Structure 1
Amino acid sequence: MGWEELVAKKRKALAELIPEKWRIPADILPADSQHSVISYPETSSLLSDEELTITQLTVKELVEKIASRKYSAVQVCEAFCHRAAIAHQLVNCLVEIFFDAAVERAIELDDYLFKEGKTVGPLHGVPISLKDQFRVKGVECSMGYVAWLGNIDEEESVMTTLLRKAGAVLYVKTSVPQSVMCCETMNNIIGRTLNPYNRLLSCGGSSGGEAALIALHGSSIGIGTDIGGSIRTPAAFNGLWGIRPSHGRMPFAGIRSSMDGQETVHCVCGPIAHRAEDLAYFMKAILEQEPWHYDPKVIEIPWREEKYNEGRTGKKIFGITTVNGVMGFDGVVMPHPPILRGIQMVVNALRRAGHTVVEWQPYKHKYAVDLVRKIYRADGGEDIRNALTLSGEPAISEVAHDYGPGANEKIDLNTMWDIQIKKYKYQQEYMAIWMERNEINAWIQPEAPHAAIRHDQYKYNGYASVISLLDYPAVVVPVTFAQKETDIKDLNYKPISDLDMQVHDEYQADVYHGAPVAVQIIGRRLQEEYVIGLAEQVGRALASS
């Protein structure tokens, strides 16, 4: 069977998993010309008032209302399954659907609560979506590769196991780009996942399916992975909160990935949600399951409530990445006008709230970007090309550009060791610089040089990948939306490189109008609780300004 036949079979099977009663009638399905579908679930009358209410609740509220029997786990499960089915028909975000198994799990949880008079754990009855890298027993994990279709997992990722232990209900897995090593979400299996705010724009990658689903409230909270921005970029592009934890805080064992064994820059997993409080609740819930007993790479650091409270209270000192007097500029690629305005909004809001904001000079970011690219492509793209060869499917454009034949030279072992030394030295140097300015609690910079980008136009992920190289925790905070009347292109700007020119030339105020704008809050390594708390403060300052 050729790869096209495998894809056709998969698409047909996926479509059939959406119950007939939840399929959007053709006469009310938004036309392709309707670019924004972000409010469609509320305005379409497809969801009941109860379903709309349930799917807008915070994670904590869901747990509390299930525990008090205001709602049953089955009611909550079916509401999110229904809304996820609608979201998929709007933006093409699901790759695995197992609603029936989810309802069975919800029934078990309701029975347990009735018989025992208590919940299973801190996520009792909460439907949680998973990026298609997490293994779920009895479900495929294709990770955007046609060759991996049909491989049913018999074991689960540690995170999957701990989610079940905490009482979560698993019901869908979301789309990823071919290989997951892309900043947009496109594969040959289901095609492109779209941004619900504007379907002409990217939902980001590689956790793009997660973010698109969550933006439409088809999930209360979802779990993604991040090796160079793959949680943060989709969160930023879809107006959401997301955290890239430091390596060692969340369990990664059993998660499928490209270039498995690449340990110089670690891929990590973390949540994407509508609120900072949900990020904190999730992190605490997983750490309560003591993941260090399940994954030897997890450091035994329980949730530290005092660190969280320290971050979310009191006046702080924030650094803002600044080069040549331009706040938000890393010295490599100049951000688009909406991002620069977003940075200034954050600065103004923090100062009005009584916080101190100072300039933060980024240290050798161009050097770091070049270094991390060598790490990502150390095998010359061989691992990815081998996976494509198995089915004969073509590489999508971004994969072909970054990992195709001749795109990169394979690095030998001694060269790789030298790169690891350079990485470690860079981390030490950055730490020393921060120690010299130890009064700064965290620093803020764009997550990307642009708001949600047009399809196939993502050029530079240095704002995110440098943080991965440093292994600092970073929380994405939604700020505003691009405004064509306000965010005017600077026609006098003189780009400092060809790459800078490409990014600058891409900006068109009318095209990007309405796209979400975000920043990231960056803290010291392994200080996730504190950084989430700081991010909450930034969010409150923005909300009150």
Structure 2
Amino acid sequence: MAAKDWQKLCAERKEQQLQSIPKEWLIQTPPESQGNVLDVPETCGLLTDRELEITNTVDVDALLGKLALGEWSSVEVTTAFYKRAIIAQQVTNCLTEIFVEQALARARVVDEHLKQTGKTIGPLHGLPISLKDQFSMKGKDTIMGYAGWIGKPAEQDCVLVEMLYDLGAVPFVRTNVPQTLMWGETYNHVFGRTTNPYNRYMTPGGSSGGEGALVAMRGSPLGVGTDIGGSVRIPSVFCGLYGLRPSYERLPYQGAMNSQLGQESISSVLGPMTVTPAGVRRFTRAIIDAKPWNRDPLAVRKPWNQREYELEEHGHGIGMCFAIMWDNDVVKPHPPLIRAMEITKAALEAAGHKVIDWIPHRHLEIYQNTERIFGADGGHDFRADCELSGEPLIQTMSPTEDAHEYALDQPLAKVLLGEPEHISAFKLWQLHKEKRDLRKSHLDYWEATKAVTGTGRPVDAIINPAVASIACPHGTNSDAFYTTMCNSLDLTTYAFPVTFADKELDVKPPPHQFRNHEDEAIYHLYDAEIFHGLPVGLQLIGRTLEEEGVIAMTELVDRALKAHKVA
């Protein structure tokens, strides 16, 4: 296609999206100069008092309880969240697919089942759930940020969508992603840029950035993202959410679209994103209890283990030992993150737990191995998908106007490794072997902490930043190795909010001895005034396939933080 053809294709698809919004749901949007738009759903006048009550009920357990009892119908809950999602779309540009009538028709089926039988369809009965634009739905495009994927509707639902229907849920919107998915921000030529509702000058992260912005706006009670290098956790910490990165194949990915399909050394995984921990637990258990291994041949045959959730292997949650990784020896975190780790340490110690320092182990080697695996095809996959329409491959997330002076178009991986090289199968196998050896080395290192914990066990979990920065200006989020390390080592990881940046408390320190150009750029990026008021989150790292334990440990940390703040 000629350049004008792909641009016309994108413009037509964007107009189609606009036409799918009910006209009565359009609002008077705030000026672009208004950064924080979190209060727009409360002030724009579109939502009724009851719809505000419904959408402000952030605890998924509470929502499901009212739906199960018929106190709120699925139709009214879905309508309320749909209206709020459309508000979020108008101020943050977070959505891709909008299908109001189909979602409400599904909600009516759910309500009728409860009315006729007196029973719920399943554990997610009536709950509206938003999905990242990777999860195929029959009859709908899965565009995934590529112009060349427009007009290619899916022939069937992916396994996750099939299971959500069987569990009683109401899939109701899909959300924006970056072209190629391999960015910690969210922008593509088809739907444009998604912004952070806490400050629209900032990115919501990526690649599940549409989910991050939507859930932060309370436009969805529970979103599902994917994570191959931090794509659930980065938007979660940037938008003040809880988000789980499970281990490879614990949750069903079959039938979902992806970049680099066939690359299975570092697998992409799906995970929930919510405003409270209850949603993460409820979703994860519901999917596992439904035996996804009977639908997805790669799904791990491991039922929900309640003993793991009760922390049987971690002293039943009493007198545990956590390790804090203050720095990964590659990029130094910004001051709000240092303070968040200090807060978390104090909260855990006040709750009777021990906290020690985690010394990074071979992190730069893991980073280089990971990036070489991701780049093993020399970028062929990305270029081929762009060539379908003739659109250019996006080289930067930085805006063409009002760009931040510290935009990082040359991430550390490119500096260390150069342009991606299309390597032979044999060379790729050597990278896989190296990765396996690094995993074994890291496992042994973790096990050796048994000598210093005082519990008779190795460290129960590691706590550290998910990104070296909190939500940052568009075009500046180049660092992803705090998260990607977990993808490479396949460590179950859970992002959680801690506090908010405070310009009085989070003063910029003097320069340290920079390790690399990215470390230097991220140091200069920090401005206490610009970052003031943004969410600050961390991640808790557990072992491979330890979803139940990691969920329980993060809930324990969350309770300790809340108790510490009250005290």
- TM-score exceeds 0.5: yes
RMSD: 1.5
Counterparts of 1:308 and 1:277, CA distance in 2: 13
**Do residues 491 (structure 1) and 510 (structure 2) align?**
yes
8 A Cα contact 1:446 1:519, kept in partner: yes
> Shift of residue 39 of structure 1?
2.1
Please name the residue that 2:476 is paired with: 457
Conserved in 2, the CA contact under 8 Å of 1:184 and 1:203?
Answer: yes
The letter of the residue matching 2:323 is G
Distance in structure 2 (CA, Å) of the matches to 1:31 and 1:275: 30
Q: Per-residue deviation at 1:401? A: 6.0
- Contact 1:131–1:173 (Cα < 8 Å) also in 2: yes
Q: Say which SS state the counterpart of residue 225 (structure 2) adopts.
A: strand
Quick one: distance in 1 between partners of 2:68 and 2:526? 49
Corresponding residue number in structure 2 for 1:351: 349
Report how far residue 492 of structure 1 moved. 3.6
Is 1:7 matched up with 2:13?
A: no
Alpha-carbon spacing, 1:36–1:362, altered in 2? closer, same or farther (3 Å): same
Counterpart code for 2:465? P
Number of the residue aligned with 2:500 = 481
Residue 237 of structure 1 is matched in structure 2 by: 238
Is 1:131 matched with 2:132?
A: yes
Report % sequence identity: 40
Contact 1:241 1:272 in 2 (8 A): yes
Which residue in the other structure is 2:552 paired with?
533
Residue of structure 1 in register with 2:402 after alignment: none
- Render the CA deviation track for 1:367-396: whole Å, top value 9, x for unaligned: 111111111111010110111111111222
Equivalent residue letter for 2:41: P
Confirm whether residue 36 of structure 1 aligns to residue 14 of structure 2.
no
- Could you say which residue in structure 2 is the equivalent of 1:386? 384
Q: Hey, what's the Cα distance between the residues in 1 that align with 2:20 and 2:318? A: 50
What secondary structure is seen at the aligned counterpart in 2 of 1:358?
strand
Aligned-partner residue type, residue 81 of structure 1:
Y
Aligned-partner Cα distance in 1 for 2:396–2:258: 17
Normalised TM-score (structure 2) = 0.92
1:195 partner SS: coil
Q: Which residue matches 2:467?
A: 448
Moved more, 511-520 or 233-242: 511-520
Deviations 1:25-46 (A, max 9, x none): 3xxx211111001122123332
2:430 equivalent in structure 1: 418
**Paired residue type of 2:438:** Y
**Superposed CA offset, 1:338-361 (max 9, x none):** 111111111111111111101111
Cα distance in 1, alignment partners of residues 437 and 244 from structure 2: 25
Deviation string 1:142-194 (CA, Å, 9 cap, x unpaired) is 00000001111111111111111101101110000001111100000111000
Unpaired runs of 5+ in structure 2? 398-408, 451-456
1:496-511 equivalent positions in 2, closer than 5 A: 496-511=515-530
Is 1:23 aligned with 2:21?
no
1:325 is aligned to none
Distance 2:171 2:497 in 1: 27
Structure 2 distance, partners of 1:17, 1:149, is: 16
CA distance in 2, matches of 1:483, 1:43: 26
1:468 aligns with 2:466: no
Q: Equivalent residue for 2:184?
A: 183
Superimposed CA distance per residue, residues 308-331 of structure 1 (whole angstroms, 9 cap, x where no aligned partner)? 22278433110111xxxxxx1111
Identify which range, 391-400 or 467-476, moves more after superposition: 391-400
Separation in 2 of the partners of 1:491 and 1:117? 64
Shifted more, 58-67 versus 442-451: the winner is 58-67
1:201 aligns to what SS in structure 2?
A: coil
C-alpha distance in 1 between matches for 2:516 and 2:175: 36
Q: Partners of 2:310 and 2:177 in 1: how far apart?
A: 35
Say which of 307, 310, 323 aligns to 1:319: 323
Determine if contact 1:401/1:407 at 8 Å carries over to the other structure.
no
CA distance in 2, matches of 1:261, 1:176: 20
Q: CA deviation at 1:306?
A: 2.5
Q: Cα distance, 1:491 vs. partner?
A: 2.1
The separation in 1 between residues aligned to 2:137 and 2:277, in whole angstroms, is 27
Say whether the 8 Å CA contact 1:215–1:238 is kept in structure 2.
Answer: yes
Verify the 8 A CA contact 2:335 2:506 in the aligned structure 1. yes
Structure 1, unaligned stretches of length 5 or more?
322-327
Q: Distance in 2 between matches of 1:370 and 1:453?
A: 24
Contact kept in structure 1, 2:511 and 2:523, CA below 8 Å: no
Tell whether 2:255 aligns with 1:263.
Answer: no
Task: Give the equivalent residue in structure 1 for 2:152.
Answer: 151
Counterpart of 2:20 in structure 1: which amino acid? L
Judge conservation of contact 2:179–2:187 (CA < 8 Å) in 1: yes
Aligned equivalents of 1:52 and 1:288: distance in 2? 32
Task: Tell me, in whole angstroms, the C-alpha distance in 1 between the residues paired with 2:551 and 2:23.
Answer: 41
- Counterparts of 1:82 and 1:193 in 2: how far apart (Å)? 18
Query: Which SS does the other structure have where 1:463 is aligned?
Result: helix
Residue 339 of structure 2 contacts residue 506 of structure 2 at CA under 8 Å; is this kept in 1?
Answer: yes
Q: Is the 8 A contact 1:182 1:398 kept in 2?
A: no
Alignment of 1:223 with 2:199, yes or no, is no
CA distance in 1, matches of 2:396, 2:133: 19
AA at the equivalent of 1:41: P
SS, match of residue 198 in structure 1: coil
The equivalent of 1:436 in structure 2 is: 448
1:67 is displaced (CA, Å) by 1.6
SS at match of 1:391: coil
SS in 1 for 2:537: strand
8 Å contact from structure 1 (residues 248, 298) kept in 2 = yes
What is the one-letter code of the residue matched to 2:476? Answer: Q
d(CA) in 2 for partners of 1:397, 1:418: 29
Aligned residue identity for 1:502: A
The alpha carbon displacement at 1:241 in A equals 0.3
What's the counterpart of residue 522 of structure 1? 541
Normalised by the size of structure 1, how large is the TM-score? 0.96
Bigger mean CA deviation after superposition, 62-71 or 390-399: 390-399
Instruction: Encode CA deviations 1:444-476: one digit per residue, 9 max, x unaligned.
Output: 110000100110011221100011001000000
In the alignment, residue 295 of structure 2 is paired with which amino acid? Answer: Y
Q: What is the correspondence of 1:257-336 to structure 2 with a 5 Å cutoff?
A: 257-310=258-311, 313-321=317-325, 328-336=326-334
CA distance in structure 2 between the aligned counterparts of 1:527 and 1:518, rounded to whole angstroms:
21
Q: CA deviation at 1:109?
A: 0.8
1:381 counterpart letter in structure 2: G
Shift of 1:278: 1.1
